A and B are shown apart, each in its own frame.
Chain A
Amino acid sequence: MKKGLTKEVIRRISKDKNEPAWMLEHRLKSFEIFVKEPMPSFGPDLSGLNLDEIIYYAKPGEVKNATSWKKVPADIKRTFEKLGIPQAERKYLAGAGAQYESENVYHRLKEKWSKFGVIFEDMDAAVNLYPELVKKYFMRCVGMHDHKFAALHGAVWSGGTFIYIPEGVNVDQPLQAYFRMNAKSMGQFEHTIIIVGKNSQGNYIEGCSAPKYNSPSLHAGMVEVFVEESARLRYSSVENWSHNTYNLNTKRAIVDKNGTMEWVGGNLGAGVTMLYPCSILRGEGARADHLGIAFANGNQIQDTGSKVIHAAPNTTSKIVMKSLCKNGGKTLYRGMVKILKGAKGASTHTKCDSLILDEKSVADTIPAMDIAENDVSANHEASVGKISEDQLFYCMSRGIGKDEATGMIINGFIEPIIKEMPLEYAVEMNRLIELEMKEAGAVG
């Protein structure tokens, strides 16, 4: 295990994974771009991120014992306990254990759907098992030239999930990466590709919302989604990285004619997060729904938002974001909706609401729209507010204590997003937010 990134490290990654030559070539090319690209010109201060100090790759097993359970901070252990996470899972989440019995669940799920031609595989394995398919889609949605961290990702990616749903299959059961946690997938640079064929449907749930404790301080994953004609995908994730992490994640979908992409996300963890899931609506009648919650506590900065490009007629998008900040936390909604020339009849609606929970915290919104077509409908609503004293008094006049009343109003505020989340997330998110309300900065 070495800190910093060189071509040698990249060659080693590729060799360890037994990759085909094209992938090594892709990695090296990405590396060259990474070295040349400047840091992002917008967003939060990243000067605390020392790219030479990061361990970019470790073989599974190499890093496993880096953290012993004893060394896991007490506040994290307490959070696991309060969330009722099983012991084996806690160790995994804290980076102190690698075995988790739900591997069986994954295999059953995989086998059941493979009969219908569905591929649900670890990304590393998929490169060798389905080289042609992977090559066709790998970084075709997000290119290595996109930004510095996309290039970095292209050079050092490892693990992740590969899902292929062929034409006309409705996978009515959520595919959860959670079930294969002991695969080497939950690293810092995981790559996920999801292809949903014509008239097919899928529902993917990434990770779990419990806090993940790990020593590395950079997460730069990538998710690429391809929604083909009249297909539909819902992608749900809750990210809760430890507070020493810079979470610079890239998620993007390309949606064909009459297809639907739904992003449902929650961001609670990390010190600095920059995450703006993107939908490119390139086919006529394509649709994107972006739903998200961001919570910044303590010194956290949640710079999150969404990006939608309407590139075809009659495309629609709906963005609903809720953010909360407390104890000096900072949330920023950064949105970009582009309607290109020719996207007649496009319609877009953004609603972002922020709740500031004390005097020390800050919430801001930067919604941008770039519209090059006349015959469109575009609107945006934003609100930044505090819990009103009148609301609090109303609750308290019914015998409800101030803290409980505050929690209830907050849960009500995020409810439109929570109700769209998978059940296990919804329960966990509510509990996590309750915990965050009680102890400042407890998680991570």
Chain B
Amino acid sequence: MFQIKNLKVDVNEKHILQGVSLKIKPGEIHVVMGPNGSGKSTLANAIAGNPKYKTTDGKIALGGEDLTHARPDHRAQKGILLAFQYPKEIPGVSVLNFLQTAHKAICKARKIAPMNPIEFRKALRERLAKFGLDATFMNRSMNEGFSGGEKKKLEMIQLSFLEPKIAIIDEIDSGLDIDALKVIAGGIKFLAYGGRGVLLITHYKRILQYLKPDFIHVMVCGRIVKSGSHKLADELERKGYKNIHHKTSS
């Protein structure tokens, strides 16, 4: 199980997360929704260990192991993986090379045998095809010259390859066309079927047409102000964030 408890996070000396708690069991899909600036992306980055986000209080634990202050690579090896809202370009480093390096590092830490280069290439080609990407993507530099949709697909491919225990998916649905959105939603469902916890962070309800989360949490001003079933999304749609927040705090 993945758990965060009373997490408080500062960014540039500003208190962004004011104490967030969540419990995510294997195979569950949790969605955190909230308006712009509510701290959703801060939550994603703090869980993954981005050094720009300072955790001042609280706890992050996976399977009972405290990872609150672990290095980002260590967290990933343990099974916390983040799909970025804005994936970074790494010029001159091919998708194949990058993923293979990550695969080896993770296998080494988990003490399992990595795929040999031939198997790996084959598996990557299949995965690319599944997400509708051409095999030539393998030899392209990481995210360089990729369209928005291609970048997001590559994030999902990375997650599925690196076998997370908990996948944090940050605003993956913004700027995607319907076809890409369906493919991405399919990828998320696949992760959950595989027994992986999913924390999906989103601004819009749109992606929820294609997958059914177990829980929805509403985040406003660095706090989760309401949690509920997938039906909460409809309520949000009707009332807007403001009223939900108002109702809870009154």
Contact = CB atoms under 8 A, between A and B. Distances in A.
Given A397-B48, A400-B102, A413-B92, 8 more contacts: A393-B72, A397-B76, A398-B162, A399-B105, A400-B73, A408-B97, A412-B92, A414-B92
Interface string A370-398: 00000000000000000011110111111
A409 interface: yes
Interface in B48-100: 48-52, 71-73, 75-77, 81-82, 84, 87-93, 97-98
B205 to A, nearest CB: 27
Contact of A399 (B87, B89, B92, B109): B109
A434 interface: no
Contacts of B93: 408-409, 411-412, 415
A393 B109 contact: no
A43 interface: no
B52 A401 contact: no
Contact of B91 (A394, A398, A404, A413): A413
Nearest to B161: A398
17 contacts: A388-B88, A393-B52, A393-B72, A396-B49, A396-B72, A396-B76, A397-B48, A397-B73, A397-B76, A398-B81, A398-B106, A400-B101, A404-B101, A408-B98, A412-B93, A413-B92, A415-B92
A227 to B, nearest CB: 30
A396 B71 contact: yes
B202 interface: no
A398 B92 contact: no
B90 A399 contact: no
A357 to B, nearest CB: 16
Given A389-B51, A408-B101, A397 B82 contact: yes
A266 to B, nearest CB: 15
A416 B92 CA distance: 7
Interface of A: 388-391, 393-402, 404-405, 408-409, 411-416
Nearest to A391: B88
B174 interface: no
B92 to A, nearest CB: 3
Contact of A401 (B75, B87, B105): B105
A415 B93 CA distance: 8
Contact of B73 (A391, A402, A412): A402
Contacts of A390: 88
Contact of A395 (B51, B71, B90): B90
5 pairs of A and B residues whose beta carbons are closest in the complex: A412-B92, A415-B92, A399-B76, A412-B93, A398-B102
Interface string B85-127: 0011111110001100110011001000000000000000000
B42 interface: no
A412 B89 CA distance: 11
Interface of chain A, main secondary structure: helix
B131 to A, nearest CB: 17
Contacts, number: 83
Contact of A389 (B52, B71, B76, B82): B52
Given A397-B48, A398-B162, A400-B105, A409 B90 contact: yes
A416 B72 CA distance: 29
B106 to A, nearest CB: 4
Nearest to B93: A412
B73 A411 contact: no
B141 interface: yes
A136 to B, nearest CB: 43
A393 B81 contact: no
Interface in B157-210: 158, 162
A293 B102 CA distance: 27
Contacts of B84: 394, 397
B69 to A, nearest CB: 14
Specify which of B71, B93, B158 lies most central, judged by the most chain A CB atoms within 10 Å of its CB: B93
Contacts of A400: 73, 101-102, 105
A388 B89 CA distance: 11
A398 B158 contact: yes
Nearest to A405: B73
A39 B99 CA distance: 52
Contacts of B71: 396, 402
Nearest to B79: A399
Given A394-B84, A399-B106, A400-B102, A411 B162 contact: no
B162 A399 contact: yes
A387 to B, nearest CB: 10
Nearest to A400: B105
Specify which of B52, B92, B97, B106 lies most central, judged by the most chain A CB atoms within 10 Å of its CB: B92
A394 B93 CA distance: 13
Contact of B81 (A391, A397, A404): A397
A21 to B, nearest CB: 54
Specify which of A390, A393, A402 lies most central, judged by the most chain B CB atoms within 10 Å of its CB: A393
B141 A412 contact: yes
A396 B162 CA distance: 13
A393 B50 contact: yes
Specify which of A390, A408, A412 lies most central, judged by the most chain B CB atoms within 10 Å of its CB: A412
B97 to A, nearest CB: 8
B90 A394 contact: yes
A416 B94 CA distance: 12
Nearest to B71: A396
B78 to A, nearest CB: 9
